[in-house]
């Protein structure tokens, strides 16, 4: 599906899941190289940037966590940037592109802002919005941190093991998808400066700065997850040690009582208290006194309970 937007003499064409017929139309209208046209038809595994005579071809993958479409963990967007046109192609619905298109239409109708004199400025604003989207994804994780922390110190350490593991997995995927942006954006900064001129280098450098901002937040979140995991593991270990200590003390208390019961349960004629009619109650009282003494020793003297 092709959506077309126009601002003065600038054209933005947004393509969702392009068909061969739609790609041929774009080839004829914007003189797109056949190799680029072919790549538009299928998703690409890696991000990259290529400089052609009439345009720059840029591919970026953006991770998603809180809002996933069609079960994907990343969203690929292909950019073809010419002097007066820009084409964006993607294979599932991208929320931020949709929001940007509405703002772009309003500005086109009302001419409220000066977007710029070439299509590179449109790309600049799109990329800023996309990195803002990533900032929102990471902000979503910040709320998860607060919830997990509250549950950890609320006595739900065991339940939080899976939650922390899933959050760590999401951040690892996020980092893996975002890692190629550094090299690609730095190469794009060089290609964009050659294509649009030195005056545009500031905007290209700003885009690289947006990436570093997201990368810094991501590293901070990774450290927070590791700290939460260490804290949760420590509390689990402490709770497990307390349980083992209680079981050990219980075993130490029961062991002498069992021994007393076994001794007086032997079938021999010379056993003490064998002829005493109150032998059962005497033995039971003895076991009770021994049990209370052992319990008091572990609780008040050793403070193990």
The domain limits of the chain are 2-236, 240-301
**What is the reported pLDDT for 273?**
59
Q: Please check whether residue 130 is in contact with residue 61, taking contact to mean a CB–CB distance below 8 angstroms.
A: no
**What is the reported pLDDT for 298?**
65
- Name residues whose C-beta falls within 8 Å of residue 91's C-beta, 6 or more positions apart in sequence: 16, 17, 43, 75, 76
3-class DSSP state of 42: coil
- What topology does CATH give the domain 240-301? Methane Monooxygenase Hydroxylase; Chain G, domain 1 (1.20.58)
**What is the reported pLDDT for 79?**
93
Q: What is the rounded distance in angstroms from the CA atom of residue 166 to the CA atom of residue 214?
A: 20
| Chain-centre distance for alpha carbon 45 | 20
**What is the reported pLDDT for 165?**
84
Model pTM above 0.75: no
- What topology does CATH give the domain 2-236? Beta Polymerase; domain 2 (3.30.460)
**What is the reported pLDDT for 81?**
92
pLDDT per residue as tens, the chain (305 positions)? 888 888 778 888 888 888 888 888 888 888 888 888 888 888 888 888 888 888 999 999 988 765 444 444 678 889 999 988 999 888 887 777 777 777 777 665 445 556 777 888 888 988 988 888 888 888 877 778 878 878 877 777 777 888 888 888 888 888 888 888 889 998 998 888 888 888 888 888 998 888 899 889 888 888 888 888 888 788 777 777 777 777 777 777 777 777 767 766 665 556 665 566 776 677 778 778 877 776 776 676 666 55
**What is the reported pLDDT for 133?**
84
Count of alpha carbons within 13 angstroms of residue 249, beta-carbon side: 21
3-class DSSP state of 193: helix
**What is the reported pLDDT for 71?**
40
**What is the reported pLDDT for 150?**
80
């Amino acid at each position: 599906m092709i959506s077309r937007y126009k601002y003065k003499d600038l054209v933005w064409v947004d393509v969702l899941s392009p068909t061969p017929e739609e790609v041929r139309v774009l080839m004829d209208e914007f003189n797109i190289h056949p190799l680029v046209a072919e790549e538009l038809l299928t998703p690409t595994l890696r991000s990259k940037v290529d400089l052609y005579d009439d345009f720059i071809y840029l591919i970026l993958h953006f991770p998603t966590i809180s809002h996933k479409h069609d079960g994907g963990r990343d969203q690929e967007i292909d950019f073809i940037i010419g002097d007066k046109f820009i084409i964006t192609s993607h294979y599932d619905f991208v929320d931020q592109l949709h929001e940007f298109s509405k703002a772009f239409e309003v500005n086109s109708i009302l001419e409220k802002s000066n977007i710029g004199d070439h299509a590179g400025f449109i790309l600049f604003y799109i990329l800023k919005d996309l990195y803002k989207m990533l900032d929102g994804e990471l902000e979503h994780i910040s709320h998860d941190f607060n919830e997990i922390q509250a549950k950890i110190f609320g006595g739900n350490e065991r339940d939080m093991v899976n939650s922390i593991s899933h959050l760590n997995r999401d951040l690892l995927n996020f980092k893996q998808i975002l890692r190629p942006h550094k090299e690609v954006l730095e190469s794009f900064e060089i290609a964009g400066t050659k294509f649009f001129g030195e005056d545009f280098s500031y905007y290209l450098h700003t885009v690289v700065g947006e990436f570093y901002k997201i990368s810094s937040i991501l590293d901070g979140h990774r450290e927070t997850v590791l700290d939460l995991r260490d804290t949760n593991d420590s509390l689990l270990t402490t709770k497990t040690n307390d349980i083992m200590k209680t079981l050990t003390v219980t075993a130490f208390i029961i062991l002498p009582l069992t021994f007393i019961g076994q001794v007086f349960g032997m079938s021999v004629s010379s056993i003490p208290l064998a002829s005493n009619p109150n032998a059962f109650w005497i033995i039971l009282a003895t076991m009770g006194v021994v049990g209370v003494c052992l319990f008091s020793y572990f609780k008040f003297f050793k403070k193990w309970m």
